[in-house]
């Protein structure tokens, strides 16, 4: 079992970096996507991600129930991304406690996986304090979820302007 976290700002290269990590394992890769094509812009983003991935990678689309989605997958898993997953949780009106329990269940399910699991997420706590309750709640929840995953991970990376900075873990030979 190995968990990795890849975080950073919007368009920082997180997904491409995570895909490189996953592809380097030599194991079959399953891409677990949390985004939904609910508008034309998101449809374009999803299409771009699909075009970039190798054709032999499997894709599982799961916006809400990530812990269950990981069960039974063999090989390497990329979960892209926790940011949208937390947003999806809020949109179905889950309480903060429910979201945090779901995050605990996700970490537990990932820890049981025999291969590498790479989580992709946005770093949202470094900017301006949001001006409304929902946006502050989202920022706080995502920060707590990111912390849970980071603590459980053996490696963590921050992407800034396309450059990876190791936050946790030892370089491998």
Which residue out of 49, 65, 113, 151 is catalytically annotated? 49
Written in H, E and C, the secondary structure of 49-90 is: HHHHCCCCCEEEECCCCHHHHHCCCCCEEEEECHHHHHHHHH
113 is catalytic: no
Long-range CB contact pairs, 59-65, < 8 A, 24+:
59/30, 59/31, 59/32, 59/33, 60/30, 60/31, 60/32, 60/33, 61/33, 61/36, 62/32, 62/33, 62/34, 63/34, 63/35, 63/36, 63/88, 64/88, 64/89, 64/92
Q: Beta strands 29-33 and 58-61: pairing type?
A: parallel
CB 15 within 8 A of CB 157: no
Q: Which residues are annotated as catalytic?
A: 49
């Amino acid at each position: 079992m190995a968990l990795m976290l890849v975080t950073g700002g919007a368009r920082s290269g997180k997904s491409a970096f995570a895909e490189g990590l996953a592809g380097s394992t030599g194991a079959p890769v399953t891409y677990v996507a949390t985004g939904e094509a609910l508008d034309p812009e998101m449809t374009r983003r999803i299409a771009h991600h699909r075009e970039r991935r190798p054709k032999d990678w499997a894709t599982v689309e799961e916006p809400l129930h990530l812990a269950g989605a990981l069960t039974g997958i063999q090989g390497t898993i990329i979960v892209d991304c926790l940011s949208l997953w937390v947003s999806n949780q809020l949109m179905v009106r889950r309480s903060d406690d429910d979201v945090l329990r779901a995050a605990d269940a996700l970490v537990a399910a990932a820890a049981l996986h025999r291969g590498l699991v790479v989580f992709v997420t946005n770093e949202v706590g470094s900017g301006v304090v949001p001006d409304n309750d929902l946006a502050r709640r989202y920022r706080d929840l995502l920060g707590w979820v990111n912390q849970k995953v980071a603590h459980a991970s053996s490696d963590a990376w921050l992407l800034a302007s396309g450059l990876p900075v190791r936050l946790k873990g030892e370089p491998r030979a």
